[in-house]
């Protein structure tokens, strides 16, 4: 916590307790780096400042605002969640983790993140950065992609989280992984928790399942131009309604 006060990242979603703002940030940060998210996050709030504005928007407008972030299912789920919050909860985000997890696209991590960062509930969060820190501190040799490994990490994180100040603690754990406990070249010499770390070879941790081979797909498209206009069609395949050649 002392390290975080001096070196923690100054991010816009850390200056609010608005569950909508927290939720948007968490959806955007899934599989996307912070530097990429920042400009999208600010522009998103100019177009959709709250759940009501997002719920009223068309799917086309939502996907356009998301354009460039990739993994467009996140945008569709966020849109669907906004509609549910407006219709079922009267624009008030539920504080219950169980209710939150019933919303579209929200799993354990995002539900806990909103509970911790918006409502300061004493709950752990385990995303990629925190998982790496915890796996190394405890020298975990079990794959974190398997249920036993995931359960171990969540249980350890639960033991650490304080009764008060869970938001700051979880932010500190995430930043420790993002800035110090790096994936390939951990900065162990300046790590504030190095005296607690049991990892003998941190570079190879956390253990993960072997990735499946990449599939190469070939798609055929026609580039049709007439009178300075390009012919597009709305996809019915894996691009799910997006406009393509």
Residues designated as active site:
26
End-to-end CA distance of the chain: 51
d(CA 16, CA 220): 46
Token pair for 73: 């299912």
Residue 234 φ/ψ, nearest 5 degrees: -85, 125
Strand runs (DSSP E) across the chain, as ranges?
225-226, 229-230, 233-234, 243-244
State how far the Cα of 218 lies from the Cα of 245, in Å rounded to an integer.
14
**Rama region for 201: left / alpha / beta (φ>0; ψ in -120 to 50; rest):** beta
**Tokens encoding 195:** 């005296």
Residue the block writes with tokens 């759940």: 51
Helix/strand/coil (H, E, C) string of 107-156?
CHHHHHHHHHHHHCCCCCCCCHHHHHHHHHHCCCCCCCCCHHHHHHHHHH
Greatest CA separation for the chain: 69
């Amino acid at each position: 916590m002392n390290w975080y006060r001096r070196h923690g990242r100054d991010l816009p979603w850390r200056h609010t307790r608005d569950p909508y703002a927290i939720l948007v940030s968490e959806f955007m940060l899934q599989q996307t780096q912070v530097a990429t998210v920042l400009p999208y996050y600010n522009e998103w709030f100019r177009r959709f400042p709250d759940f009501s504005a997002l719920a009223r928007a068309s799917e086309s407008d939502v996907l356009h605002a998301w354009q460039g972030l990739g993994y467009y299912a996140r945008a569709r789920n966020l849109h669907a969640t906004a509609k549910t919050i407006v219709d079922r909860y009267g624009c008030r985000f539920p504080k219950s983790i169980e209710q939150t997890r019933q919303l579209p696209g929200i799993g354990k991590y995002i539900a806990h993140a909103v509970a911790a960062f918006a409502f300061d509930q004493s709950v752990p969060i385990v995303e990629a950065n925190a998982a790496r820190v915890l796996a190394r501190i405890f020298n975990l040799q079990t794959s974190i992609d398997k249920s036993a490994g995931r359960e171990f990490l969540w249980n350890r994180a639960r033991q650490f989280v304080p009764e008060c100040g869970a938001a700051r603690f979880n932010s500190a754990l995430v930043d420790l992984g993002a800035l110090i406990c790096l994936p390939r070249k951990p900065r162990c010499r300046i790590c504030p928790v190095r005296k607690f770390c049991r990892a003998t070879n941190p570079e190879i941790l956390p253990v993960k399942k072997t990735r499946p081979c990449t599939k190469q797909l070939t798609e055929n498209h026609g580039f049709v131009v007439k009178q300075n206009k390009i012919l597009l069609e709305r996809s019915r395949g894996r691009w799910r309604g997006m406009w393509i050649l």
